[in-house]
Chains A and B, each alone.
Chain A
């Protein structure tokens, strides 16, 4: 589904990614772990097409198409989704309307009929159960005045509604208390399927207790220095990133 070869990226004249290679197949969950500043979040952002990325080079194929040549909205329409580490507040824009806009943009791109608010409401209420979001939550402005945990849940709700092929979860677990983590992870698990892939960017092993990854990659100074199965995450937990690098 996703094939990354020699990916480098520069932000503010500083090279952050120094040659990433990664293969992700449908049905797989990959966890990317690494210390602060290792380039984990940058990787997710480069794939989603975030601004402020000065230059991204390398070959990134998403279902055979060169992802880096696509505009961010086209990547989204093709089925790439990023759950933001810091979801953006949009005052005055209704959460449900925002989701419907995004949902309809996808339908339109696929040459399908757009849905009206009533039809969409049914779908939305159904999906909001996945992350245990109460209905009044949908009537508020997008992320405006949401708590940290609510914002993260809202990201997963968007993921549920937009049903992406490839989900990039950028530190979705950070800032969540135990209960919120359980809810968010439960939501993500319910969205796992054999034709979809997830790349999970995280500092901590904690979320991997809930979401079992197929692969774990350790990112250090812009490169993947070690890959393995979920036991690698436990190693990190015990030894720390520095020891893994040294070892």
Chain B
């Protein structure tokens, strides 16, 4: 007479990856292996000016002198950089696209399936999108409307041609190519990305969004994003990422640089859902090695990072803020969910240089399955950073008993007027908690989603409205299982 238990927590966290489909668009051209020739090809193919090629080559030569970092709490076999495809563009009509109507219908369908409409005025009516497929930006919506406001939003390749002065002035000033191994690699071989420029006294009239999709097996995606916000301006930017299921691990090494001038504000949100790889082995998942950094250059400027990290076999990223301007503010809100065999080592760096600078770190790590989830953060208060303040809160939620959560907070204070607070908690979703919901007639999947959303609430409320719902659903989806 004894009944089977309806559904275990384990079953709930095992679910299929929804975006694992592959689009049947043949890459028009792929370049495999890394050498100066590869870099010269990419640069020539993109019709780049000489200075850009020089930048790439300098980065490459520097990269050759560097060693792959091993300090992160992640484990994977060495990457063979000669097996990576450094350039892959979808086979498209050679002519330049005049309007959205000319985008390949198959590509359009792909992005539709991902919930990203490339047709303007459809769906997210107040969000401009730059869609990047493998190595190439395929479409940017609402360009004209943004132009009226003086806002530049285009692919990085286009910006190199159209706005070379801005690129020369800012590229590599926040993340120099010497910064780290993957930053050097990206600087050598980056293929596309997004560029945003908000002129003085301008509030960007809509949310800006980039959507990254890796479609070709073995291809690396190396994109670069540069956002500049002039005095008294404001922009909110969101990036989303997915990839099909592959048998081999894919490399994603991106750079994001933000520059905020006096009294300006940049809000950068990420919903990362790269394929996480096989549930049992992690095979085929994305290696996500990303360098993201913002510079609060002007007084009273503010940079706010919000990230929802749910995908990738390995995540290695620390969106950071350099608080140069007096009274500048840096924020980092993160939810990192790892299931199966995923490994995440993520956190932030808050570098206080200016006086009266403030930073706030809220990190929520959720681990399930056999995954490993680490928070790594640095709060550094410089000699001249009078009255700097930081508040850090680091919470870990464990689901089941085979996963791991770790925190590595580093604090370096050189000015005695600083005030720092650090709070940390570790909790679990227990069968008791789940039963409490069940005993009230609430099903186990709704229960898990509700408990996790409750845990992540303080981060979700930082997301732009349109995406808060998406993020909530995404977490639900990640934890979705077959009942019975």
Using CB atoms and an 8 Å cutoff, list the residues of chain A in contact with chain B: 48-52, 55-59, 66, 68-73, 75-77, 81-82, 84, 87-88, 90-93, 98, 101-102, 105-106, 109, 141, 158, 162
The 7 closest A-B pairs by CB, nearest first: A92-B454, A76-B441, A93-B454, A102-B440, A88-B436, A72-B438, A71-B6
Instruction: Determine how close the nearest CB of chain B comes to the CB of A116; give it in whole angstroms.
Output: 17
* A90/B454 contact (C-beta < 8 A), A51-B431, A51-B432, A73-B6 known: yes
- Whether B454 pairs with A71 at a CB distance below 8 angstroms is no
When distances are taken between beta carbons in the complex, the residues of chain B under 8 Å from A56 are: 1-2
For the A-B complex with A50-B439, A57-B1, A106-B441 known, give 6 more contacts whose Cβ atoms are closer than 8 Å. Answer: A68-B3, A71-B438, A73-B441, A88-B433, A92-B458, A105-B441
Bound CA span A218–B230, Å:
78
Q: B338 interface residue, CB < 8 Å from A?
A: no
Q: B81 interface residue, CB < 8 Å from A?
A: no
Interface locus among B30-38, B268-276, B445-453: B445-453
Bound CA span A106–B444, Å:
15
- Whether B442 pairs with A66 at a CB distance below 8 angstroms is no
Partner of B441 from the list A50, A92, A102 (CB cut-off 8 Å) is A102
Bound CA span A162–B434, Å:
18
* A92/B456 contact (C-beta < 8 A), A51-B432, A76-B438 known: yes
Partner of B439 from the list A57, A68, A76, A90 (CB cut-off 8 Å) is A76
Partner of A141 from the list B5, B434, B454, B456 (CB cut-off 8 Å) is B454
* A48/B3 contact (C-beta < 8 A), A90-B454, A92-B454, A92-B455 known: no
Q: B464 interface residue, CB < 8 Å from A?
A: no
When distances are taken between beta carbons in the complex, the residues of chain B under 8 Å from A101 are: 440, 442, 446, 450
Within 8 A of A (CB), among B448-476: 450-451, 453-458
Bound CA span A93–B447, Å:
10
Q: B443 interface residue, CB < 8 Å from A?
A: yes
- Whether A59 pairs with B1 at a CB distance below 8 angstroms is yes
When distances are taken between beta carbons in the complex, the residues of chain B under 8 Å from A87 are: 436
Chain B contact-residue range equals: 20 to 34
Tell me the nearest residue of chain A to B425, going by C-beta. Answer: A91
- Whether B436 pairs with A49 at a CB distance below 8 angstroms is no
What would 22 A/B residue contacts be, using CB atoms closer than 8 Å? A49-B3, A50-B435, A71-B438, A72-B439, A75-B439, A88-B432, A88-B435, A88-B436, A90-B433, A91-B427, A91-B455, A92-B453, A92-B454, A92-B458, A98-B440, A101-B442, A102-B440, A102-B441, A106-B441, A141-B454, A158-B440, A162-B440
When distances are taken between beta carbons in the complex, the residues of chain A under 8 Å from B3 are: 49, 68-71
Tell me the nearest residue of chain A to B7, going by C-beta. Answer: A71
Bound CA span A51–B437, Å:
12
- Whether B444 pairs with A73 at a CB distance below 8 angstroms is yes
Bound CA span A102–B456, Å:
21
Using CB atoms and an 8 Å cutoff, list the residues of chain B in contact with chain A: 1-3, 5-6, 427, 430-444, 446, 450-451, 453-458
- Whether B1 pairs with A51 at a CB distance below 8 angstroms is no
Instruction: Tally the A-B contacts, defined by beta carbons under 8 Å.
Output: 97
- Whether B435 pairs with A51 at a CB distance below 8 angstroms is yes
- Whether A93 pairs with B435 at a CB distance below 8 angstroms is no
Most chain A CB within a 10 A radius of its CB, from B6, B436, B440: B440
Instruction: Determine how close the nearest CB of chain B comes to the CB of A42; give it in whole angstroms.
Output: 14
Tell me the nearest residue of chain B to A83, going by C-beta. Answer: B439
When distances are taken between beta carbons in the complex, the residues of chain B under 8 Å from A73 are: 6, 437-439, 441-444
Instruction: Determine how close the nearest CB of chain A comes to the CB of B384; give it in whole angstroms.
Output: 39
When distances are taken between beta carbons in the complex, the residues of chain A under 8 Å from B450 are: 90, 93, 98, 101
Tell me the nearest residue of chain A to B5, going by C-beta. Answer: A51
Bound CA span A76–B427, Å:
27
Tell me the nearest residue of chain B to A143, going by C-beta. Answer: B436
Bound CA span A106–B440, Å:
9
- Whether B440 pairs with A49 at a CB distance below 8 angstroms is no
Bound CA span A171–B454, Å:
28
When distances are taken between beta carbons in the complex, the residues of chain A under 8 Å from B438 are: 49, 71-73, 76
Bound CA span A82–B438, Å:
11
* A109/B431 contact (C-beta < 8 A), A51-B5, A55-B2, A84-B436 known: no
When distances are taken between beta carbons in the complex, the residues of chain A under 8 Å from B458 are: 92
Instruction: Determine how close the nearest CB of chain B comes to the CB of A82; give it in whole angstroms.
Output: 6
Partner of A105 from the list B431, B436, B443, B457 (CB cut-off 8 Å) is B443
Instruction: Determine how close the nearest CB of chain A comes to the CB of B108; give it in whole angstroms.
Output: 36
Bound CA span A98–B442, Å:
9
Instruction: Determine how close the nearest CB of chain B comes to the CB of A2; give it in whole angstroms.
Output: 15
- Whether B1 pairs with A66 at a CB distance below 8 angstroms is yes
Tell me the nearest residue of chain B to A94, going by C-beta. Answer: B454
Bound CA span A73–B441, Å:
4
Tell me the nearest residue of chain B to A55, going by C-beta. Answer: B2
Bound CA span A88–B433, Å:
6
Partner of B451 from the list A49, A69, A82, A90 (CB cut-off 8 Å) is A90
When distances are taken between beta carbons in the complex, the residues of chain B under 8 Å from A88 are: 430, 432-433, 435-436
When distances are taken between beta carbons in the complex, the residues of chain B under 8 Å from A69 are: 1, 3
Instruction: Determine how close the nearest CB of chain B comes to the CB of A221; give it in whole angstroms.
Output: 22
Tell me the nearest residue of chain B to A82, going by C-beta. Answer: B439
When distances are taken between beta carbons in the complex, the residues of chain B under 8 Å from A106 are: 441
- Whether B440 pairs with A52 at a CB distance below 8 angstroms is no
When distances are taken between beta carbons in the complex, the residues of chain A under 8 Å from B441 are: 73, 76-77, 102, 105-106, 109, 162
When distances are taken between beta carbons in the complex, the residues of chain B under 8 Å from A55 are: 2
Tell me the nearest residue of chain A to B455, going by C-beta. Answer: A92
